[in-house]
Amino acid sequence: MGSPGGKVCVEDIEMMKTIQASMKKYIQILEEVEVPMIILHCLDHIEVKDIARPVAFIAKLSTQQPLAVQLVRKGLLDPNRAKMLLNSPCPREVTMDFLMIVSDLARMDKAFYKYIDAANILEDLRHFLSHEDPNVRSKTCSAIGNMCRHSSYFYNSLAKRHIISSLVDRCVDPDKRTRKFACFAVGNAAYHNDSLYDELRRVIPQLKNVLIAEEEHKTKANAAGALSNLVRNSNRLCEDIVSSGAMQALLKVVADCSTVALNPRRDAINSRL
């Protein structure tokens, strides 16, 4: 079984079609016979060098809410287990899978926030934001973004550990996927209230630069959304946004999108060149 975090997976297409057609029943059976709990308990009895495959399996199971609930209730986010899976000597793909598990749980339901909080992983996340591997950095940004998706639950904790400052730096990361998820995370960190606005102030010129650079459409959309959220809850940053030239950058993006919308055939031709 390949690692979901590493996007490596060789699957039987016909088997997957069969499973998808009966997915609800399949999940129900896995839950009833407690497969998630059994696989989770296996982690306590195997050597670190053999841990990648069961963690990859757990990462797949955790994308389904009933199975995710069972995994969390049985200790998936136990602080000692989290520390072990996020640090050496665990293989890097295990770390990436666990980051993806955290991200998926956080995106799925805010009810998981208290369990993620209890896992005591914020210092690890802060460290991973400057990790040498861009895949680790991007998955960390994604996890933080989803930890801010439903509420401001983590805002104070992220600020106290200087994670917001490190997150802002990732908006100019050399890796394009990290930039995309950093802009997403910054936007969510500004969405629910203005408590982080002062720390987010210096991201404004970086978001403006994302808008005028050769970036993926999704990255630009995330940057535009983040700028919008920086004025959503108060006018504290309005002057900074205007003086940085961000408004002109936003208008240029709108104009460019309008041009594409009016000339779809030309854009399609260009995309094939």
Q: Which of 149, 201, 78, 119 is nearest to 141 (CA)?
A: 149
Residue predicted with more confidence, 5 or 110: 110
State yes or no: cis peptide before 36, omega within 30 of 0. Answer: no
Tokens of 264: 């779809």
Q: What is the pLDDT of residues 51-102, one digit of tens each?
A: 999 999 999 999 999 999 999 999 999 999 999 999 878 899 999 999 999 9
Q: Which of 215, 138, 221, 136 is nearest to 177 (CA)?
A: 138
pTM above 0.75, yes or no: yes
Q: What is the pLDDT of residues 10-21, one digit of tens each?
A: 457 877 777 778
pLDDT at 209 over 50: yes
- What whole-number distance in Å separates Cα of residue 141 and Cα of residue 139? 5
